[in-house]
Chain A
Amino acid sequence: DQQVKQNSPSLSVQEGRISILNCDYTNSMFDYFLWYKKYPAEGPTFLISISSIKDKNEDGRFTVFLNKSAKHLSLHIVPSQPGDSAVYFCASEGAQKLVFGQGTRLTINP
Protein backbone atom coordinates (compact mmCIF):
# COMPACT_ATOMS: atom_id res chain seq x y z
CA ASP A 1 0.00 0.00 0.00
CA GLN A 2 1.74 3.11 -1.28
CA GLN A 3 0.73 5.84 1.16
CA VAL A 4 2.68 8.55 -0.65
CA LYS A 5 2.69 8.63 -4.43
CA GLN A 6 4.63 10.62 -6.96
CA ASN A 7 3.09 9.57 -10.22
CA SER A 8 5.63 11.21 -12.50
CA PRO A 9 8.94 9.35 -12.42
CA SER A 10 10.59 12.06 -14.49
CA LEU A 11 10.09 15.65 -15.58
CA SER A 12 12.01 17.77 -18.04
CA VAL A 13 11.80 21.57 -17.90
CA GLN A 14 13.48 24.39 -19.77
CA GLU A 15 15.82 26.59 -17.76
CA GLY A 16 14.01 29.68 -16.50
CA ARG A 17 10.57 28.09 -16.65
CA ILE A 18 8.52 26.76 -13.76
CA SER A 19 8.96 23.19 -12.51
CA ILE A 20 5.95 21.63 -10.81
CA LEU A 21 6.35 18.37 -8.94
CA ASN A 22 3.29 16.62 -7.58
CA CYS A 23 2.64 14.28 -4.70
CA ASP A 24 -0.47 12.53 -3.39
CA TYR A 25 -0.99 10.86 -0.03
CA THR A 26 -3.66 8.61 1.37
CA ASN A 27 -3.19 8.61 5.15
CA SER A 28 -5.17 11.36 6.83
CA MET A 29 -2.94 10.98 9.93
CA PHE A 30 -0.14 12.74 8.09
CA ASP A 31 0.15 16.28 9.36
CA TYR A 32 3.48 17.50 8.08
CA PHE A 33 4.87 17.32 4.60
CA LEU A 34 8.39 17.75 3.32
CA TRP A 35 10.26 17.90 0.08
CA TYR A 36 13.78 16.56 -0.29
CA LYS A 37 16.25 16.84 -3.10
CA LYS A 38 18.65 14.00 -3.71
CA TYR A 39 21.78 13.69 -5.76
CA PRO A 40 23.25 10.27 -6.56
CA ALA A 41 25.26 8.69 -3.73
CA GLU A 42 24.13 11.28 -1.20
CA GLY A 43 21.46 11.41 1.48
CA PRO A 44 18.39 13.51 0.81
CA THR A 45 18.71 17.23 1.46
CA PHE A 46 15.77 18.96 3.08
CA LEU A 47 14.24 21.65 0.85
CA ILE A 48 10.98 22.93 2.24
CA SER A 49 8.10 21.77 4.40
CA ILE A 50 4.52 22.60 5.20
CA SER A 51 2.27 21.91 8.13
CA SER A 52 -1.27 20.70 7.62
CA ILE A 53 -2.58 23.95 9.10
CA LYS A 54 -1.24 25.88 6.10
CA ASP A 55 -1.90 25.67 2.40
CA LYS A 56 1.21 27.41 1.14
CA ASN A 57 4.80 27.91 2.19
CA GLU A 58 7.35 29.84 0.23
CA ASP A 59 11.15 29.94 0.47
CA GLY A 60 12.95 31.76 -2.27
CA ARG A 61 12.42 29.98 -5.57
CA PHE A 62 10.60 27.11 -3.86
CA THR A 63 6.92 27.09 -2.96
CA VAL A 64 4.96 24.16 -1.59
CA PHE A 65 1.19 24.03 -1.89
CA LEU A 66 -1.01 21.73 0.17
CA ASN A 67 -4.58 20.77 -0.71
CA LYS A 68 -5.79 18.76 2.25
CA SER A 69 -9.19 17.92 0.84
CA ALA A 70 -7.53 16.39 -2.21
CA LYS A 71 -4.63 14.99 -0.17
CA HIS A 72 -2.30 16.54 -2.67
CA LEU A 73 0.82 18.65 -2.43
CA SER A 74 3.02 20.20 -5.05
CA LEU A 75 6.43 21.82 -5.21
CA HIS A 76 6.93 24.77 -7.53
CA ILE A 77 10.41 25.88 -8.52
CA VAL A 78 10.62 29.14 -10.37
CA PRO A 79 12.74 30.03 -12.18
CA SER A 80 14.25 26.58 -12.72
CA GLN A 81 18.02 26.41 -12.85
CA PRO A 82 20.39 23.70 -14.14
CA GLY A 83 21.53 23.04 -10.57
CA ASP A 84 17.98 22.00 -9.72
CA SER A 85 18.44 18.80 -11.73
CA ALA A 86 18.09 16.00 -9.17
CA VAL A 87 15.60 13.50 -7.83
CA TYR A 88 12.92 15.09 -5.67
CA PHE A 89 11.16 13.12 -2.96
CA CYS A 90 8.08 14.21 -1.12
CA ALA A 91 7.60 12.81 2.34
CA SER A 92 4.69 12.77 4.71
CA GLU A 93 5.05 12.64 8.44
CA GLY A 94 2.68 11.70 11.24
CA ALA A 95 2.96 9.77 14.51
CA GLN A 96 6.76 9.56 14.13
CA LYS A 97 6.44 7.91 10.75
CA LEU A 98 8.10 9.39 7.73
CA VAL A 99 6.95 7.94 4.44
CA PHE A 100 8.61 8.79 1.16
CA GLY A 101 7.16 8.94 -2.30
CA GLN A 102 8.90 7.18 -5.17
CA GLY A 103 10.71 10.28 -6.32
CA THR A 104 10.61 12.37 -9.49
CA ARG A 105 13.75 12.92 -11.52
CA LEU A 106 13.83 16.56 -12.58
CA THR A 107 16.03 17.56 -15.49
CA ILE A 108 16.52 21.21 -16.29
CA ASN A 109 17.52 21.78 -19.89
CA PRO A 110 19.67 24.81 -20.76
Chain B
Amino acid sequence: AAGVIQSPRHLIKEKRETATLKCYPIPRHDTVYWYQQGPGQDPQFLISFYEKMQSDKGSIPDRFSAQQFSDYHSELNMSSLELGDSALYFCASSLAGGVGNTIYFGEGSWLTVV
Protein backbone atom coordinates (compact mmCIF):
# COMPACT_ATOMS: atom_id res chain seq x y z
CA ALA B 1 0.00 0.00 0.00
CA ALA B 2 1.20 3.50 -0.76
CA GLY B 3 2.45 5.45 2.21
CA VAL B 4 3.17 9.08 2.88
CA ILE B 5 6.13 10.12 0.73
CA GLN B 6 8.49 12.88 1.72
CA SER B 7 11.29 14.39 -0.27
CA PRO B 8 14.10 14.97 -0.02
CA ARG B 9 15.01 12.54 2.74
CA HIS B 10 18.14 14.49 3.60
CA LEU B 11 19.03 18.09 2.95
CA ILE B 12 22.01 20.20 3.92
CA LYS B 13 21.74 23.97 3.67
CA GLU B 14 23.79 26.91 4.84
CA LYS B 15 22.54 29.61 7.16
CA ARG B 16 20.30 32.17 5.50
CA GLU B 17 19.53 29.85 2.63
CA THR B 18 16.08 28.59 1.64
CA ALA B 19 14.79 25.02 1.72
CA THR B 20 11.65 23.37 0.41
CA LEU B 21 10.32 20.07 1.69
CA LYS B 22 7.63 18.12 -0.10
CA CYS B 23 4.99 15.75 1.21
CA TYR B 24 2.81 13.45 -0.85
CA PRO B 25 -0.09 12.10 1.21
CA ILE B 26 -1.66 8.70 0.94
CA PRO B 27 -4.01 8.66 -2.08
CA ARG B 28 -7.46 10.11 -1.27
CA HIS B 29 -6.24 11.64 1.98
CA ASP B 30 -7.31 15.26 2.15
CA THR B 31 -5.52 16.43 5.30
CA VAL B 32 -1.81 17.02 5.72
CA TYR B 33 0.07 17.85 8.92
CA TRP B 34 3.65 19.08 9.30
CA TYR B 35 5.75 18.38 12.38
CA GLN B 36 9.26 19.36 13.42
CA GLN B 37 11.34 17.29 15.77
CA GLY B 38 14.64 18.71 16.92
CA PRO B 39 17.35 16.49 18.43
CA GLY B 40 16.13 15.11 21.73
CA GLN B 41 12.84 16.99 21.52
CA ASP B 42 9.16 16.10 21.19
CA PRO B 43 7.52 16.43 17.81
CA GLN B 44 6.19 19.97 17.48
CA PHE B 45 3.16 20.66 15.37
CA LEU B 46 3.79 23.29 12.70
CA ILE B 47 0.76 23.56 10.45
CA SER B 48 -2.03 21.52 8.87
CA PHE B 49 -4.15 21.71 5.74
CA TYR B 50 -7.56 20.35 4.90
CA GLU B 51 -8.83 20.47 1.33
CA LYS B 52 -6.04 22.86 0.32
CA MET B 53 -6.90 25.35 3.04
CA GLN B 54 -4.89 25.91 6.20
CA SER B 55 -6.83 24.26 8.99
CA ASP B 56 -4.59 24.81 11.98
CA LYS B 57 -1.36 26.54 12.86
CA GLY B 58 1.09 25.62 15.55
CA SER B 59 4.56 26.80 16.38
CA ILE B 60 5.58 27.59 12.82
CA PRO B 61 8.08 30.46 12.53
CA ASP B 62 7.18 33.41 10.33
CA ARG B 63 10.15 32.47 8.13
CA PHE B 64 8.30 29.29 7.19
CA SER B 65 5.32 28.96 4.91
CA ALA B 66 3.42 26.02 3.56
CA GLN B 67 0.63 25.20 1.20
CA GLN B 68 -1.38 22.29 -0.08
CA PHE B 69 -1.82 21.95 -3.82
CA SER B 70 -4.70 20.74 -5.97
CA ASP B 71 -3.28 17.21 -6.00
CA TYR B 72 -3.17 17.37 -2.17
CA HIS B 73 0.58 17.28 -1.93
CA SER B 74 2.05 19.88 0.39
CA GLU B 75 5.26 21.90 0.45
CA LEU B 76 6.96 23.46 3.43
CA ASN B 77 9.12 26.44 2.49
CA MET B 78 11.76 27.61 4.93
CA SER B 79 13.67 30.81 4.37
CA SER B 80 16.52 32.57 6.16
CA LEU B 81 17.52 29.27 7.65
CA GLU B 82 19.05 29.23 11.10
CA LEU B 83 21.17 26.61 12.81
CA GLY B 84 18.24 25.86 15.13
CA ASP B 85 16.13 24.80 12.16
CA SER B 86 18.18 21.62 11.92
CA ALA B 87 15.64 18.93 12.66
CA LEU B 88 13.63 16.04 11.34
CA TYR B 89 10.55 17.31 9.54
CA PHE B 90 7.83 14.83 9.02
CA CYS B 91 4.44 15.14 7.50
CA ALA B 92 1.37 13.07 8.06
CA SER B 93 -1.85 12.58 6.19
CA SER B 94 -5.35 11.50 7.03
CA LEU B 95 -8.83 11.41 5.59
CA ALA B 96 -10.94 13.88 7.49
CA GLY B 97 -14.62 13.63 8.22
CA GLY B 98 -15.30 11.87 11.46
CA VAL B 99 -14.00 10.32 14.61
CA GLY B 100 -11.10 7.98 14.43
CA ASN B 101 -9.17 9.08 11.42
CA THR B 102 -5.89 7.31 11.64
CA ILE B 103 -3.02 9.56 10.78
CA TYR B 104 -0.09 8.10 8.90
CA PHE B 105 3.37 9.60 8.92
CA GLY B 106 6.06 9.81 6.31
CA GLU B 107 9.65 8.79 6.89
CA GLY B 108 10.69 12.36 7.51
CA SER B 109 13.11 14.78 5.91
CA TRP B 110 16.33 15.50 7.71
CA LEU B 111 17.37 19.12 7.42
CA THR B 112 20.84 20.08 8.51
CA VAL B 113 21.71 23.77 8.56
CA VAL B 114 25.44 24.52 8.66
Q: Do A and B belong to a common assembly?
A: yes
Judged by a CB distance under 8 angstroms, whether B14 is at the interface is: no
Interface assignment of A70: CB less than 8 Å from any CB of chain B: no
B83, chain A: closest CB distance, angstroms? 19
Q: Which residue of the partner chain, among B31, B92, B99, contacts A32 with CB atoms under 8 Å? A: B99
* A82, CB-defined interface residue at 8 Å: no
Q: Is the CB of A51 within 8 A of B48?
A: no
- B43 contacts A44, CB within 8 Å? yes
With an 8 A cutoff between CB atoms, is B96 at the interface? Answer: yes
Residues of B in contact with A (beta carbons under 8 Å apart):
4, 6, 31, 33, 42-43, 45, 48, 50, 55-56, 88, 90, 92, 96, 99-108, 110
Can you list 24 A-B contacts with CB-CB less than 8 angstroms, sorted by A residue number? A31-B99, A32-B99, A34-B102, A41-B110, A42-B107, A43-B90, A43-B92, A46-B102, A46-B104, A49-B100, A51-B100, A91-B103, A93-B101, A93-B103, A96-B31, A96-B50, A97-B45, A98-B33, A98-B45, A98-B92, A98-B103, A99-B45, A100-B45, A103-B42
When A and B form their complex, which 8 residue pairs have the shortest distance between CB atoms, in order from nearest? A43-B105, A43-B90, A43-B108, A44-B105, A32-B100, A51-B100, A102-B42, A100-B43
